[in-house]
Amino acid sequence: MPNNFDVIIVGGGVVGLTIARRLSLSGRSVGLLEKGACGQEASWSGAGVLTPTNPHRQDSLHRFRMRGLGLYGDLCAEIREESGIDPEYEQCGELSLLLSEHEVSMAEPDARAVADQAMPDGKPVIEIIRPDALRDLAPWLMTDLFGARLVRTTAQVRNPRLMAALYGACEKARVVIH
């Protein structure tokens, strides 16, 4: 392995591989050191659920994380193109079941907190789905529910595929992995 890189990254999980690819694409020579095999630790075992932060937060970490969440789909499209492996990114949304009127009243402020935002198709970011509508949306669910909290910004990836795609994209970007 050459020893005159611009940047050396230690660890070939989702964090290390993503940074390595980006730096290499921006013109730096990048070496990545992995003690075992890339993408076999936390980044492999994770569930791949990409969740927004608490809708009541407005701080800079919240904005940073929401920006990252918004960029994930494009990142997955890029590495799919570069590697030929599809990480299976899907903005699937997240449905939390509400089992009492109390749970409905606890969830309603979440929807109100982001009422001024909308998905690209105009639908609310968070919506409280009442039982009648829920039966249409998810007819396989139990029937004695008080509703559900739908968070449309939640997405998912298939972690092993994400790691393989990132690895392939790093190789294509000429990251030297050791």
Ligand X SMILES: Cc1cc2nc3c(=O)[nH]c(=O)nc-3n(C[C@H](O)[C@H](O)[C@H](O)COP(=O)(O)OP(=O)(O)OC[C@H]3O[C@@H](n4cnc5c(N)ncnc54)[C@H](O)[C@@H]3O)c2cc1C
Residue of 158, 145, 47 lying closest to 96 (CA atoms): 145
Residue 113 binds ligand X (CB under 6 A): no
Query: Residue 15 corresponds to which tokens in the numbers above?
Result: 């964090």
- We find the least distance from the C-beta atom of residue 159 to ligand X, in angstroms, to be 7
CB-nearest residue to ligand X: 13
Give me the least distance between CB of 144 and ligand X, in Å please: 29
Query: Taking CB under 6 A as the rule, does residue 153 contact ligand X?
Result: no
Question: Per rule CB under 6 A, is residue 88 in the interface with ligand X?
Answer: no
Integer Cα distance of 71 and 75 in angstroms? 6
Query: What is the phi/psi pair of residue 9, to 5°?
Result: -110, 135
The span of 5-13, 100-108, 122-130, 134-142 binding ligand X (CB under 6 A) equals 5-13
DSSP-derived 3-state class of residue 157? coil
- Rounded to the nearest whole angstrom, what is the least distance from the CB of residue 76 to ligand X in the complex? 14
Figure out which of the listed residues 5, 7, 11, 135 binds ligand X, where binding follows CB under 6 A. 11
Rounded Cα distance, 121 and 77, in Å: 20
Q: Which is nearer to ligand X, 38 or 128 (CB)?
A: 38
Q: Do 89 and 76 form a contact (C-beta atoms < 8 A)? A: yes
Q: What is the rounded CA–CA span in Å between residue 27 and residue 54?
A: 37
Of residues 27-86, those binding ligand X (CB under 6 A)? 33-36, 41-43, 45-50
Q: Which residues bind ligand X (CB under 6 A)?
A: 10-16, 33-36, 41-43, 45-50
